[in-house]
Structure 1
């Protein structure tokens, strides 16, 4: 089973994106193991803190390093992605030469009550992810519109069509991780 470091880009107590992440986790049971990153406890990026890095930073980097892939579940704020995501990306990429993001497969999803979901914010984030050497999954795109009752109190998707689409998305993400994720060392017998 692949481990996915999950970054929820909302710190709101009753975040619809945190609920969406839990629904995806439930759909992915037996296929992907979700490990949630605590990006809310990270201080604002400050290069001076590397002399004695905060525990939240060292934990973040260890979780990313141990993961096979990354899933970013994000709201859209002012037609962009939340600053807490950029802050986490910066902490994970430093100090220079010690980035935890290198070569990790990543997928973006997000939800909002709006009709276009998080399309604009995800587009903005997709522009910078390759700079972190993250391998971005292009399709399918998931711009999820939250509607009352679509995810129940047990994190179940209540609509069959939506559940089918999201199950297909998770299957594709798993194949993407298999294809672009860490390679096992090959044992070659010499004659």
Structure 2
């Protein structure tokens, strides 16, 4: 039996990103019939419609769109920049939603986690992303919502989750996400 492919999209490029650490932890909690892959969005040039023609589309955009199209589910983990979405994540969403009528995000099940060292758990980014993802027809699992605040206090020196309650909650969340993805038909790729 083939595994369900989950793309992991991290909205932070920082080497010691809290979002990346949480994404890795959640991906590791998925059942055995799932495989996850961190999708690199940091090397994508800024979306410019003038460059998005059959003759001029950057090769990295083409590869990225193909990669997203082949996924069975989407895991987004992001911090918040100025109460909103990080530029790198918004750019990735834009690239894979274009050209018009060729949105490769459409119809895919997804989940969203926002992460912050502060008290609000990146609430603003979470809700801005919900709006964008609804328009892109990414079908988000709405419960449980995951806003992780005070994230440094939840991680040990290796960057792994050290808080038992957080670990238990994320296990429940990963199980709910797996159940959500299983509700959607698996797309056959050639």
TM-score normalized by the length of structure 1? 0.88
Partner of 1:165: 169
Partner of 2:19: 17
Partner of 1:60: 64
CA contact 1:26–1:155 (8 Å) conserved in 2: no
Tell me how far 1:65 sits from its aligned partner: 0.9
Which range is displaced more, 70-79 or 147-156?
147-156
Partner of 1:141: 145
Q: Deviations over 1:23-68 (max 9, x none)?
A: 1122226253212221111111111222322222112111111110
1:128 is the counterpart of 2:132: yes
CA contact 2:117–2:152 (8 Å) conserved in 1: no
CA contact 2:115–2:151 (8 Å) conserved in 1: no
Greater radius of gyration (CA): 1
Aligned length: 184
Partner of 2:8: 6
Point out where structure 1 has 5 or more consecutive residues left out of the alignment: 186-191
Point out where structure 2 has 5 or more consecutive residues left out of the alignment: none
Partner of 1:35: 37
Distance 1:69 1:184 in 2: 11
Q: Deviations over 1:127-166 (max 9, x none)?
A: 1211111111111011112444623355542222111110
The DSSP-based 3-state class of the residue aligned with 2:35 is strand
The DSSP-based 3-state class of the residue aligned with 1:18 is helix
TM-score normalized by the length of structure 2? 0.88
Distance 1:125 1:83 in 2: 12
Distance 1:59 1:37 in 2: 11
1:83 is the counterpart of 2:87: yes
Pair 1:151–1:30, CA change in 2 (3 A): farther
